[in-house]
Structure 1
Amino acid sequence: MTQGKITDLEGRSRRNNIRIYSIKEGAEGASMFKFINGLLKTELSLNDDLDLQIQRAHRSLGPRPQNDATLRSIIVNFLQYSTKDLVLCTAWAKGIRYEGRPVFFAHDYPAEINAKLKEYKEVKRVLKKNKIRFQTPYPAKIRIHWETGSQLYDSAAEAAGDLNKRGYAVDLTAIPKGSERRWEERLM
């Protein structure tokens, strides 16, 4: 089996998962399930009658950190994708804080996809600074919504090159070497 197929299989198995960041270790008490169910319903102002159908909720693997500088994320698995999508969209639109800290919600992607998404860091910084709407569709591409229409880019180098041509200064040294190759080629 090729690495691309393995990554695709792992991505499909994580499809109904979300990751929640910035919640202190131990805040969940004795039951992570009850904590997450209560947090989502109260902070997202979801209907009390809505059954979130959470199958699993736990901290990511690894040793418990000694300080709050490196918190482990919480992984939540929903029975239905539509519920996961509702929670993510509501959380992104609302912006949640817990105990004075902002809480971040994200898709749960495989490590290879997360590494590819990190390559877009400088491009996303420039886009946010200039208030240009963008998306990062699976598997790790970037879609920029220009006034003339949206454009999909396969690599950070390709997007950075186009941004520079359009007059937006992107630091090309911040783009990792080799990102100009298509993602699919690297996984084969």
Structure 2
Amino acid sequence: MEGAEGSSPSITAFVENMLREKLELEASLSLPIERAQRALTPRPSENAPPISIVVNFLSYRMKEEILRTAWRKKGFLWRVKRVNIDHDYAPDVIRKHKEYTEAKKLLKEKNIKIQTPFSAKLRVFFPDVIRVYNTAEEATKDLADRGIPTPGTLMDRIQSFTWCTAGQKAERGQTRDKPNYKEKLQSFRR
């Protein structure tokens, strides 16, 4: 969306026009935007996704209405790019939400309804019970107990990054071909 605002007098006017058009909002609806600005990140390359725009609404109710409408439509396309509208979460919350990616993907494939509440939890609506998980590790363990194994659990990922000495069998049955540090140091000796 770099430069997409074109002849709009400001980014605020651009965001308002885009929301009205793409979310099909009524023309008579007041859309009080206090401020809109690009996220403070370096300018992206040609193939990278566009920079996020942070919008501050004057009315909390209007913000919630815009979010509900956007979520119902599951985003929209703007000049061949997918636009998603969501809350502006802190980086720690975003990182915690990403930890649930594998579990959420499997649950969606099985048509099991899920939610990710603000505090980076995972709420799963099983047919018999609603379950809330506080960590991704807790979720993957319980899902495995329920017969929904998730590939790449947290422990698997941690073990794949652990060190082993040269020639020792790796966790997955492969040997390491790289020389250990002593062998490397010997090659530098004069």
Calculate the TM-score normalised by the size of structure 1: 0.76
How far did residue 173 of structure 1 move? 3.3
Q: Is the 8 A contact 2:36 2:56 kept in 1?
A: yes
Alignment of 1:76 onto 2:35: no
Q: Which has the higher strand share?
A: 1
User: How big is each residue's C-alpha offset from its partner over 1:40-95, in whole Å with a ceiling of 9 and x where there is no partner?
Assistant: 11111111111111111111002212323142111111112211111111111113
- Residue 68 of structure 2 aligns with an amino acid whose one-letter code is C
Partner of 1:59: 38
Q: Is the 8 A contact 1:122 1:174 kept in 2?
A: no
- Decide which of 102, 118, 126 is 1:138's aligned counterpart: 118
Partner of 2:25: 46
**Tell me, which stretches of 5 or more residues in structure 1 are unaligned?**
1-23, 178-188
- Residue 116 of structure 1 aligns with an amino acid whose one-letter code is K
How far did residue 157 of structure 1 move? 0.8
CA distance in 1, matches of 2:77, 2:50: 15
Alignment of 1:170 onto 2:150: yes
Question: Within 5 Å, which residues of 2 pair with 1:63-142?
Answer: 63-95=42-74, 96-142=76-122
Q: Is the 8 A contact 2:12 2:35 kept in 1?
A: yes
CA distance in 1, matches of 2:99, 2:42: 27
Partner of 1:151: 131
- Residue 56 of structure 1 aligns with an amino acid whose one-letter code is R
- Give the root-mean-square deviation of aligned CA atoms: 1.6
Deviant stretches of 4+, over 2 Å: 172-177
- Residue 161 of structure 1 aligns with an amino acid whose one-letter code is K
Q: Which has the higher contact order (CA 8 A, sep 6+)?
A: 1
Q: Is the 8 A contact 1:160 1:172 kept in 2?
A: no
Partner of 2:161: none
State the structure with more CA Rg. 2
CA distance in 2, matches of 1:50, 1:172: 47
How far did residue 174 of structure 1 move? 5.2
User: How big is each residue's C-alpha offset from its partner over 1:102-150, in whole Å with a ceiling of 9 and x where there is no partner?
Assistant: 2111111111111111111111111122121101111100100111131
CA distance in 2, matches of 1:122, 1:33: 36
Deviates more, 1:109-118 or 1:61-70: 61-70
Calculate the TM-score normalised by the size of structure 2: 0.75
CA distance in 2, matches of 1:45, 1:149: 37
- Decide which of 136, 140, 150 is 1:160's aligned counterpart: 140
Give the % identical residues.
40
Partner of 1:31: 10
